Amino acid sequence: MPAGKNKLKKNRSGKRPSGKTKRRHASSPGNQWDDHLTRRARAENYPARSVYKLEEIQKKFKILRSGDRVLDLGCAPGSWLLYASKQVGMTGRVFGIDLKDVEIQLPANVRVIRDNILKMEDTVFLGDLAGLDVVLSDMAPATTGRKDVDALRSAALCEMALDTAETCLSANGHFVCKIFQGNEFNLFQKTVQARFKTCKIFKPESCRKQSKEIYIIAKYKKQGG
């Protein structure tokens, strides 16, 4: 055995020589639930387990209806697109925007562009988006590991999502927005509350337990809001 290799072995108390106890993430109940959802998504042909968050939102709040025109911000890899497409049916339309390409095959009622919502350049696409029934945002910034920075970046995406909802939603339209909880959260929630008749906070069971993400579910956009 090469010199020094044995030093990495655990001692009898289960501790490494550094004194740190090995973490047991893989077998924790939270991870089993995560794995179950990932396997379920694969079996049901969704590219991401995040579909179950939207499913929970839909079951509880009835956001999407047959025939609706829906915008999905931060739509890659495409699970919400597929789920929304089924809910609105072939008389409805789903538009998606993401920084990344959506690589899965999409149903005929879905149209996607690759763009940055913070500096949208595709004005032709934007022109199609008047009179929407629903704006969804599952956008998330690339995380840095610094919770305050991540929350600030998430809030900037949420503000842009809300601006888009204000411009493109018809009166009584609905808005669903993921936000990382942080200092900006209360102000953003108040701003949404002022523009919609109802506004609820919801953490789906399918969110990872350690995640700071939460969803704002705002229904019935006020006239002129």
Ligand X SMILES: C[S@@+](CC[C@H](N)C(=O)[O-])C[C@H]1O[C@@H](n2cnc3c(N)ncnc32)[C@H](O)[C@@H]1O
Under the binding rule (CB under 6 A), the answer on residue 96 touching ligand X is no
Q: Look at residues 68, 64, 82 and name the one whose alpha carbon lies nearest to residue 176.
A: 64
Answer for which of 64, 69, 71, 80 binds ligand X (CB under 6 A) is 80
- DSSP 8-class letter at 102: P
Piece of the chain touching ligand X by CB under 6 A; list 26-34, 35-43, 134-142, 161-169: 134-142
Answer for which of 139, 165, 179, 216 binds ligand X (CB under 6 A) is 139
Answer yes or no: are the C-beta atoms of 222 and 197 closer than 8 Å: yes
Piece of the chain touching ligand X by CB under 6 A; list 6-14, 137-145, 197-205, 214-222: 137-145
**Cα–Cα distance for residue pair 171/176, rounded to 1 Å:** 15
**Cα–Cα distance for residue pair 138/178, rounded to 1 Å:** 5
Answer yes or no: are the C-beta atoms of 46 and 106 closer than 8 Å: no
Check if 197 is active-site.
no
Interface mask (CB under 6 A) for ligand X, residues 37-66, using x and -? -----------x-xx---------------
- Per DSSP, the chain holds a count of helices (H) and strands (E) of 6, 7
What's at 86, amino acid-wise?
A: K
Piece of the chain touching ligand X by CB under 6 A; list 2-10, 19-27, 30-38, 133-141: 133-141
Site for ligand X in 147-166 (CB under 6 A): 157
Q: Closest distance between ligand X and the C-beta of residue 24, in Å?
A: 26
Question: Two tokens at 156?
Answer: 């900037």
Report the interface residues with ligand X, using CB under 6 A.
48, 50-51, 74-80, 97-100, 116-118, 138-141, 157
